[in-house]
Amino acid sequence: MEELSLEAFEGYQTWIDFRVVTANGGGQGVLIDDLAVIGNEYRNNLDIVNVDTVRYSASGEEHELSVTVRGIGLEEQSGVTVAARITDSNGLRVWPSDRTFNFFTIPGSLAKGEEFTVDPSTAGADWKWGSDLGPGIYRMHIQALRDDDVQVPDESRAKNFRTLTLVLGAALLTGDQWSMGDGWSSGSYIWDGSEDGSLTSEFFTVWNSKPFLVVEAEYELIDASVKAQVRSGNSGPWYDIKWRSTDQLSTLYSIPSANYTQLPMYWEGSSAFDNSTAQTFFADLGAVEQLGDGSGSLQDAYIGSEMQIRLTGSSSGPGSSGMFKAYYPSVFGLDDYSVDLKDISPKTQNGEPSSLTGDTVSRTYTVKVNNFGAASDSGVVDFV
């Protein structure tokens, strides 16, 4: 009997191909007497089966968080505590503000296959977030562990943790404003990995000085890759989107939290990481050298102009294949407060000074302002 360990494939959907080679075949095939894949069930095991919350939104809005946990161990799982928190781009906790995590202990125990959902209806208003968060890109960290996990560890801990990327800002380009070229098909947006072609956005107006491209993607590519480009106007040159930010410590194509010996400059290989095949990628368009001012904002000349994004799939050999799926690619403006004067009319008016006539003299002006920020704001007009 030949035994093969599948430990390295734990948590992944796996296909097993068998090939039999014999020098005395005779053309009638070879009979395999028995074939079995046997898995050992864990005694102590929990699984976060679903996390439901808004991931792309304007800043300052309140959202509910729902986390569903399932018992999948042979023994009942008791004393299960679900915890959640949000950190900013620097890794600093921003929610909750007064403690390390939001905690809720599931009442009773979870038998095998039994589920419990933690949300505001079961755990109270603490499981609402977002009202005090400004524009930015955040990470939500969720865990579900038994109280005695240190003494009796969960036997498949990867399923006890989930991390989501949250984007709060002003939507400049949405996931519905794209057209598919060669090799692309619908069902989100899917590239076949073999036929060169682009997914191209509509033109969008950049009225915020800090636009970020956000792409949630899942891919498995062989001798093929996908890269993102941006251009200003309908006749401008296409520029590669490389760096996540101006510090150039990571790229648009870097999986958040993954370690690299060499930073990727396009999407290639596999997106599988940290018990998930779909990852969220993002980059500051102000970090594109030809468009930015060096500090992460766009040059003034590009604010208010139209831009266009494209994701281009390229094959690099006769065996090119695979799949690249983009979910709701979009552009968000993350500059929070920026109010500009648009127009004032009339430009001039005449009137006699009240000091000469003794009467009150009034004149009406109409002032229009633009809110170029990602947060709600009001213009204050002073006449000098």
Domain CATH number, residue 149: 2.60.40.10
Asked if residue 12 has pLDDT above 60, the reply is no
Is the same domain home to 322 and 232?
A: yes
Asked if residue 198 has pLDDT above 60, the reply is yes
pLDDT value for 71: 94
pLDDT value for 361: 75
Does residue 375 lie in a domain region? yes
Terminal alpha carbon distance of the chain: 92
CA 97/CA 205 separation, integer angstroms? 35
Does residue 360 lie in a domain region? yes
Does residue 7 lie in a domain region? no
- Residue in 131, 194, 193, 136 with CA at minimum distance from that of residue 168: 136
The alpha-carbon radius of gyration of the chain (Å, integer) is 28
Asked if residue 176 has pLDDT above 70, the reply is yes
Asked if residue 204 has pLDDT above 70, the reply is yes
Does residue 21 lie in a domain region? no
Is the same domain home to 175 and 150?
A: no
Say if residues 142 and 102 touch (Cβ distance below 8 Å): no
Burial class for 21, CB neighbours closer than 10 Å (0-12, 13-18, 19+): exposed
Question: Considering 333, 349, 372, which residue would you say is the last residue of a domain?
Answer: 333
- Taking only the tens place, the pLDDT of each residue in 354-364 is 777 777 777 78
Say if residues 332 and 283 touch (Cβ distance below 8 Å): no
Q: Which residue's entry shows tokens 């002073």?
A: 382
Q: Which residues form the domain of 345?
A: 337-384
Say if residues 310 and 234 touch (Cβ distance below 8 Å): no
pLDDT value for 338: 61
Residue with the larger pLDDT of the pair 19 and 192: 192
Is the same domain home to 193 and 327?
A: yes
CA 284/CA 244 separation, integer angstroms? 6
CA triplet 67, 255, 164: central angle to 5 degrees? 15
Provide the 8-state DSSP code for 292.
Answer: B
Is the same domain home to 207 and 325?
A: yes
- Taking only the tens place, the pLDDT of each residue in 244-303 is 999 999 999 999 889 999 999 999 999 999 878 899 999 999 999 999 998 888 998 998
- Integer angstrom CA distances of residue 54 from 161, 213, 325: 19, 18, 20
How many separate domains does the chain show?
3
- Residue in 379, 375, 377, 290 with CA at minimum distance from that of residue 333: 375
pLDDT value for 39: 62
Is the same domain home to 101 and 244?
A: no
pLDDT value for 243: 97
Q: Which residue's entry shows tokens 């801990």?
A: 157
Is the same domain home to 249 and 125?
A: no
Output the domain CATH number for residue 205: 2.60.120
Is the same domain home to 234 and 321?
A: yes
- Taking only the tens place, the pLDDT of each residue in 42-74 is 889 999 999 999 999 989 899 999 999 999 988
Is the same domain home to 194 and 95?
A: no
